[in-house]
């Protein structure tokens, strides 16, 4: 009998008979591994030709192109081999890994098998449906069906129940090979036209691979988990319309979506996060709290800041401008439209064209709505000859820019056509880079702390050193700047991920992503070198040696844009701004008209102390007033009646902590003052 060599991940080599399966090897290693195993990864040792040869035998056929499109996410062949069923006979020397729930890529195989389970359950309940495709997706799976009646929420419940039944039966997922004509005949008899089409288009003769789950049979490349029993933590989520093959004009299908994870806990966490995402949606909160709007009449992607949103923006911007001045930046303003010629010099008219609004003709001259602030700041730098003594020059602007985005991708405050960047450009000498970078990072962390974020991810994007021809700047420029970014991050003890080849053509950069209250990352701060613009604009300074030199240029934005950061804050705080940012910090609620006079006295005391306050003097019950103030997420409610008027107190209610009892007015004012001054981010 022939023997093959199996190289395990730890380097150990096992000699086994030809045709041994990964399941058998798992069993030899430990019964526990055999029990946990979901799928295997194999990499033929003698190169891709060997794999292709084996594909035709059907044993390890994952490289064969007879794939239904659904399989593409799970078994794309790459340098590290490909995924196969545990029961696939191994027919050559391979490197083998046996994947368990600990391996992230195995989850997509589980989800693909869950899609098959869904189709099997639907067929049991609705035998006449026509089948489309069913791939895994990021958080679960879907399957497309054609059926005359729409699937109702009750149908989904029944289908999910049936899936649980079939899962409990632990039905094996079996791979079968059959000749193409036989496969077509099978689907023709079954009247599954879409599947016939897929077999016609994709199957490579002579043999076609199928998977069966009980009565369900699918033209599918696989791989799959051994049996349905491992599919435990799933939930059908929704039905949506979809076109066959995603093309408009093709038959309409009903797509059933499901969520699927290894454990119930992971599924519960995911469902909770979905709920939270909905609850925190800044578009809904923006309307409920009357913060901003997008007006169809004015055009998509253009933001109207309402008084309350405008107030929060003012507070945010005040903080930022104070910090900019304190940290040695100069504040500038530049025009919103400038000659198109300027954008030709900068190169934007060429490489950034598709993100720009079209030019505007004025007196036979073309003008351009600005998509970026950089050329404006460059013109200020260039307005006179600079000496090394003035460097670094740090020009900052809350600069409003306009960019063309397709209307389909616009999204509330997060993706817009007009926005205000908290932009700055630093012009410095090479020996100043490190301290400038460090200062930028320090500023970015101050932003995070001030606005209540504690987790973050940092990425350093470098060039692809094998293709210097694709980049502006010399190898020396890149090495020095990337080195400065890296040294600074390392010195500050900030963990980062290096992204080789991810830099823009004009320079390396650091990106900081914030992690919000429910664990979502948001791209925010960018610190980016530019080896392109200083040359294009002929920037110079007179060095200590009396000669002219080209300064280094750094673009940096901390919030990214005021609009986007505001949207992120709304979601991070779920609309309940900490007291230093809240548009109304304390609402005064008189028990009845009788106490209007004392209520006004309280308002005056608060206003005199500099607080933002509002009197709810409607003729409503206290409960209704409290409920409305809660809905508006106002941090403090001050209830005043006879007792309070007599004692000079207020009964304090906090929007998350509830009733805090009566407090002397002066005492409340001084504790509020402290809370605001410390910029506490407690909600
Ligand atoms: Zn499949
Ligand atoms: Zn810039």
pLDDT at 50: 45
Looking at the CA of 401, which ligand is closest?
2
71 in Cβ contact with 221 (< 8 Å): yes
Q: Which residues contact 80 (CB under 8 A, 6 or more apart)?
A: 41, 43
Quick: pLDDT tens for 145-171: 999 999 999 999 999 999 999 999 999
Read off the pLDDT band of 24 (50, 70, 90).
Answer: very high
Which ligand is in closest contact with the Cα of 73?
1
Query: What is the token pair recorded at 335?
Result: 């025009």
Which ligand has the minimum distance to the alpha carbon of residue 371? 2
Counting ligands in written order, which one lies closest to the CA of residue 136? Answer: 1
**Average pLDDT of the residues in 614-640:** 96
Q: How far is the CA of 427 from the centre of ligand 2 (A)?
A: 11
Q: What is the DSSP letter of 324?
A: H
- Cα–Cα distance between 347 and 357 in angstroms, integer? 15
Residues with Cβ–ion distance below 5 A, ligand 1: 70, 220
- Cα of 405 to ligand 2 centre, how many Å? 19
CA of 122 to the centre of ligand 2 (A): 54
Q: How confident is the model at residue 2 (pLDDT cuts 50, 70, 90)?
A: confident
Q: How far is the CA of 441 from the centre of ligand 1 (A)?
A: 47
The residue whose two tokens read 């408009």 is 248
- pLDDT tens readout for residues 556-583: 999 999 999 999 999 999 999 999 999 9
User: What string of DSSP letters covers 331-352?
Assistant: E----SEEEHHHHHHHSHHHHT
Cα 113 to middle of ligand 1, angstroms:
7
CB 246 within 8 A of CB 256: no
pLDDT in tens, 307-333: 999 999 999 999 999 999 999 999 999
Helix axes 596-608, 665-677, angle to 10 degrees: 40
* pLDDT at residue 502 in the model: 92
* pLDDT-based confidence at residue 345 (cuts at 50, 70, 90): very high
Strands 140-146 and 130-131: antiparallel
User: Does the pLDDT at position 292 exceed 80?
Assistant: yes
d(CA 587, CA 351): 52
pLDDT digits (tens, 9 = 90+) for 79-135: 478 999 999 999 999 999 999 998 888 999 999 999 999 999 999 999 999 999 999
pLDDT beyond 90 at 58? no
In this prediction, residue 1 has a pLDDT band, given cuts at 50, 70 and 90, of: low
Is the pLDDT assigned to residue 49 strictly greater than 80?
A: no
Question: Ligand 2 mean position to 599 CA, how many Å?
Answer: 51
Instruction: Look up tokens 């970014």; give the residue.
Output: 485
Q: Indicate which ligand has the atom closest to the C-alpha of 219.
A: 1
- Residues 6+ away with beta carbon under 8 Å from 322: none
pLDDT digits (tens, 9 = 90+) for 392-424: 999 999 999 999 999 889 999 999 999 999 999
Beta bridge partners of 369: 337
How close is the Cα of 202 to the center of ligand 2, in Å?
A: 48
CA of 556 to the centre of ligand 2 (A): 7
The catalytic residue positions are 374, 403, 421, 423, 425, 509, 555
């Amino acid at each position: 009998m022939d023997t093959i060599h199996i190289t395990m991940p730890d380097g150990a080599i096992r000699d086994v008979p030809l045709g041994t399966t990964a399941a058998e090897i798992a069993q030899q290693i430990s019964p526990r591994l055999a029990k946990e195993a979901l799928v295997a990864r194999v990499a033929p040792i003698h190169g891709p030709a060997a794999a292709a040869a084996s594909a035709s035998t059907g044993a390890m056929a994952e490289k064969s192109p007879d794939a239904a499109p659904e399989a593409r996410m799970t078994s794309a062949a790459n340098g590290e081999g490909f995924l196969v069923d545990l029961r696939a006979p191994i027919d050559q020397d391979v490197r083998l890994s046996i994947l368990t729930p600990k391996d992230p890529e195995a989850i997509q195989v589980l989800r693909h098998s869950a899609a098959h389970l869904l189709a099997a359950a639907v067929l049991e309940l609705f035998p006449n449906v026509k089948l489309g495709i069913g791939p895994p997706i990021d958080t679960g799976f879907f399957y497309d069906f054609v059926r005359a009646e729409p699937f109702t929420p009750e149908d989904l419940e029944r289908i999910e129940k049936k899936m649980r039944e079939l899962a409990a039966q632990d039905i094996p997922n079996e791979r079968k090979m059959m000749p193409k004509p036989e496969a077509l005949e099978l689907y023709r008899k079954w009247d599954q036209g879409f599947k016939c089409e897929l077999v016609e288009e994709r199957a490579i003769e002579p043999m076609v691979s199928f998977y069966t789950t009980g009565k369900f049979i699918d033209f599918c490349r696989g791989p799959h988990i051994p049996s349905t029993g491992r599919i435990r933590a799933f939930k059908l989520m929704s039905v949506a319309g979809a076109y066959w093959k995603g093309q408009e004009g093709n038959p309409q299908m009903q797509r059933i979506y499901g969520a699927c994870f290894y454990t119930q806990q992971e599924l519960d966490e995911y469902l909770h996060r979905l709920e939270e995402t909905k609850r925190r949606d800044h578009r809904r909160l923006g309307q409920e709290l009357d913060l901003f709007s997008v007006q169809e009449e004015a055009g998509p992607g253009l933001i109207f800041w309402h008084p309350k949103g405008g107030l929060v923006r003012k507070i945010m911007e005040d903080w930022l401008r104070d910090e900019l001045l304190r940290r040695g930046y100069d504040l500038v303003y530049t025009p919103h439209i400038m000659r198109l010629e300027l954008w030709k010099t900068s190169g934007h008219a060429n490489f950034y064209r598709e993100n720009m609004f079209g030019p505007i003709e004025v007196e036979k001259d073309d003008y351009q709505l600005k998509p970026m602030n950089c050329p404006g700041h460059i013109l200020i730098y260039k307005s006179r000859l600079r000496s090394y003594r003035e460097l670094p020059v740090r020009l900052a602007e809350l600069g409003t820019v306009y960019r063309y985005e397709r209307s389909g991708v616009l999204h509330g405050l997060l993706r817009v056509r007009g926005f205000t960047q908290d932009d700055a450009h630093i012009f410095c000498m090479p020996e100043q880079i490190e301290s400038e970078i460090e200062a930028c990072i320090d500023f970015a962390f101050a932003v995070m702390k001030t606005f209540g974020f504690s987790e973050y991810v940092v990425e350093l994007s470098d060039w692809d050193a094998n293709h210097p021809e694709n980049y502006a700047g010399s190898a020396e420029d890149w090495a020095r700047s990337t080195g400065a970014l890296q040294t600074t991050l390392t010195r500050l003890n900030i963990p980062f991920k290096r992204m080789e080849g991810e830099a823009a053509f004009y320079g390396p950069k650091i990106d900081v992503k914030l992690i919000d209250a429910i664990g979502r990352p948001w791209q925010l701060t960018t610190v980016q070198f530019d080896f392109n613009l200083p040359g294009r604009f002929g920037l110079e300074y007179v060095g200590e040696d009396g000669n002219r030199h080209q300064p280094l240029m750094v673009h940096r934005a901390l919030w990214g844009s005021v609009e986007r950061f505001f949207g992120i804050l709304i979601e991070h705080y779920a609309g309940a701004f900490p007291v230093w940012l809240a548009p109304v910090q304390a609402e005064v609620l008189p028990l009845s008209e009788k106490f209007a006079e004392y209520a006004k006295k309280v308002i005056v005391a608060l206003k005199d102390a500099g607080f933002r306050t509002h009197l709810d003097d409607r003729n409503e019950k206290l409960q209704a007033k409290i409920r409305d103030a809660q809905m508006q997420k106002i941090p403090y409610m001050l209830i005043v009646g006879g007792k309070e008027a007599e004692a000079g107190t207020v009964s304090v209610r906090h929007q998350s902590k509830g009733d805090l009892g009566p407090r002397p007015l002066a005492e409340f004012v001084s504790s509020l003052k402290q809370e605001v001054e410390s910029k506490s981010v407690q909600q």
